[in-house]
Amino acid sequence: MSHFLDRVETALRDPDLKTALGRATERLGSRRSVSLDSLPDSDAVRDMARRAKLGLLRDLAGNLETFEKNLIKNGVQVHWAEDGAAANRIMVDIAKSRGCKRAVKSKSMATEETHLNHDLLEAGLEVLETDLGEYIVQLAETTPSHIILPIIHMTKESIGKVMHEKIKVPYTSDPEKLAKIARAKLREAFLSADLGITGANFGVVDSGALVLVSNEGNARLVTTLPRVHVAVMGIEKLVPSLSDLDLMIKILARSATGQKITTYTSLVTGPRREGEADGCQEMHVILLDNGRSRILGGPLAEILGCIRCGACLNACPVYKNVGGHAYGDTYPGPIGSIVTPGLRGIKAWKELPDASSLCGACRDVCPVRLDIPRMLLELRKQAVDEASIPWALRIGLWGFGVAASRPWLYRAGAGLFRWASGLMAKSGWIRKLPGLAAGWTRSRDLKAPAPKSFQELWRQRPVRPAPAGKEAAPVR
């Protein structure tokens, strides 16, 4: 898919989107900073969390092995999926062999990534998203546009319209009424479902626990009511131990929603055991690679430390203007600009790393201090090395390199531009640039070069007497 600029144009023409995004991201951003300030030594906690995550990634294979062993010890059946298609196949096989007919889902971006719902429906299963935002997204037949606020792009009016049209309830735009209607629908589904599908925010290596944090509590129902529970998680979502989990929990909700802690934090340690009152009868974990091990071996490895809080989206001036759908895949915003080309290859996604002014706001807010701008720069280099880049741009920058590394040629080029811009400019301003540079004059004028460069003026400056007692006059 490579219509990033088309999607951007569409997004920028949508006034509702900008209003919705602006309000929500501003609210989240300010809550985040207040909430992080309430954490004693928040900087130290972030450093420790970063160390835990990146340290784990250094021996990901070993950690996965230990994690698998502990899962099995807890009575969980473990599956490995090399790509999305494999993960979906495993899921369908489990469902069919267990005679499951209705699935309920919660908290899973990994299955968004593998387009699981499509494959489940194709295999004849009913599947229902149970988190409110994802439920609306499913009704509207679209995709989430934010990591933690999937329908950040929708107004309450458009949500009311979707529910009215798709589930035939009377139209209302009252958020509380809408939530109530959805909740009633979802409750029915929980009780009749025989397959529960979740993702995992974290997997704790030393105990084999799956961690799900949420505000709606649906994840708890999805993991306990249906008789079979299958979790799909990226192989990078591990933390070494419960004390490391503590660090993550401290910074995740604060960075995401500005809460000190989310309403629900569930640790799932296997299916129902003898004598236990609730829990599923059977539990599976599908460990999804889907390109992650390729990222692990390269210069983008630290992106696998991302804990999916969405803070970088809320801070990003590009995201705030274009929203999540412009990024074209599961993961939007600055993080998506790295994860998507990382997982799927730079060739088809070379526009994403360019969708940043490299302002660094994302790096500032990242709870695990991922150097997002550095990785964007790395991907731009990969794009130049591996993808098809317009020849005019290639030649243009080659010319820049040749000229700017030879001062005499550079001066000649600058002189030529000074002359040419003299022809293009009116009272010192250029209103329309040709060729590749035309983008600049789309929304701003360009100040024409000065009649004389700084170096020329410098050379013409009268020699100043040296200050008394100081060395000779400034060297020209």
What residues between 361 and 390 interact with another protein by CB under 8 A? 361, 363-364, 374, 377, 379-385
Enclosing H/E stretch for 286? strand 282-288
Query: What CA–CA distance (Å, rounded) separates 298 from 315?
Result: 26
Q: Using CB under 8 A, which of 55, 157, 175, 398 touches another protein?
A: 398
* Contact yes or no for 276/53 (Cβ under 8 A): no
The distance of Cα 386 from the centroid of its chain, to the nearest Å, equals: 23
The closest alpha carbon to 108, from 127, 82, 126, belongs to 127
Asked if residue 401 binds another protein (CB under 8 A), the reply is yes
Query: What CA–CA distance (Å, rounded) separates 224 from 219?
Result: 9
Q: Using CB under 8 A, which of 34, 85, 179, 393 touches another protein?
A: 393
Residue ranges in 4-33 that form contacts with another protein under rule CB under 8 A: 5, 8-9, 12
Q: Using CB under 8 A, which of 317, 416, 419, 432 touches another protein?
A: 317
Asked if residue 397 binds another protein (CB under 8 A), the reply is yes
Record the tokens describing residue 234, joined without a space: 């990226």
Record the tokens describing residue 414, joined without a space: 């600058």
* Contact yes or no for 430/448 (Cβ under 8 A): yes
Asked if residue 429 binds another protein (CB under 8 A), the reply is yes
Closest to another protein by CB, 171 vs 458, is 458
Q: Using CB under 8 A, which of 30, 407, 412, 422 touches another protein?
A: 407
Q: Using CB under 8 A, which of 149, 318, 370, 375 touches another protein?
A: 318
Asked if residue 402 binds another protein (CB under 8 A), the reply is yes
Per-residue contact string for residues 341-360; x = within reach of another protein by CB under 8 A: ------------xxxxxxxx
Asked if residue 191 binds another protein (CB under 8 A), the reply is no
Closest to another protein by CB, 51 vs 418, is 418
Q: What angle do CA 106, 197, 109 make, to 5 degrees?
A: 55
First to last CA, the chain: 55
Per-residue contact string for residues 441-470; x = within reach of another protein by CB under 8 A: -xxxxxxxxx-xxxxxxx--x--x-xx--x
Query: What CA–CA distance (Å, rounded) separates 435 from 468?
Result: 54
With 0-12 CB in 10 A as exposed, 13-18 as middle and 19+ as buried, what is 441? middle
Asked if residue 410 binds another protein (CB under 8 A), the reply is yes
Shortest Å, Cβ 258 to another protein = 18
